[in-house]
Amino acid sequence: MTNHEIKINFWEYASVKELDTIDQDLCVEAVKAMKNSHSPYSKFRVGAALLLKSGKIIQGSNQENVAYPSGLCAERVALFYWGANHPDDPIVSMAVTAHTDEFELKRPVTSCGSCLQVLAECEKMQNQPVKVILFVGQGPVWVTNGIESFLPFLFFEERLS
């Protein structure tokens, strides 16, 4: 029997104000993206913003449906839009935030496994990592460079690619 240990690496900042200007601006875009969240069922609004190498910003928000499983997370709305429209303009960074009137969010919302798996594929498509910035209102900010820290056991099979 062999014991393997995986260490993940991410940075925590006390607030968005501690980030550099480019990252702060992207956080503002993620907050703006929440405005178009369609979340009447969960009442949980999520906004995602992608900064592309060209400087273009892509926004996504969670889109729910009365047939519940038909909805999609903010991150995948943004990432699939990127794949459909700008696949040759690499994603430099992605900021994600959330808000609900139902309770207080005290720590960043970490993207679900499906969104992380999709982000992993985007990194593979563009052959470079994406800086991920997760934040909520007044809480701390978590930053990682590349998806592997958040999803070390992502599904990958070279022979399917």
In whole angstroms, give the CA distance from residue 142 to residue 132: 8
CA distances from 88 to 58, 85, 126 (A): 14, 9, 8
| Residue 75 annotated to the active site | yes
Using the contact rule CB under 6 A, the part of the chain among 20-28, 106-114, 135-143, 152-160 near ligand THU is: 106-114
Q: Under DSSP, is residue 19 helix (H, G, I), strand (E, B) or coil? A: coil
Contact at 8 Å (CB) between 130 and 118?
no
Q: 19 or 77, CB closer to ligand THU?
A: 77
Q: 42 or 117, CB closer to ligand THU?
A: 42
Residues within window 26-65 making contact with ligand THU, judged by CB under 6 A: 39, 42, 44, 46, 62, 64
Site membership for ligand THU, residue 92 (CB under 6 A): no
Task: Write down the catalytic residue from 75, 121, 123, 148.
Answer: 75
Write out the H or E segment, with its range, that includes residue 121.
helix 113-126
Give the interface with ligand THU as residue ranges (CB under 6 A).
39, 42, 44, 46, 62, 64, 71, 73-75, 109, 111-112, 115
Active site (catalytic) residues: 75
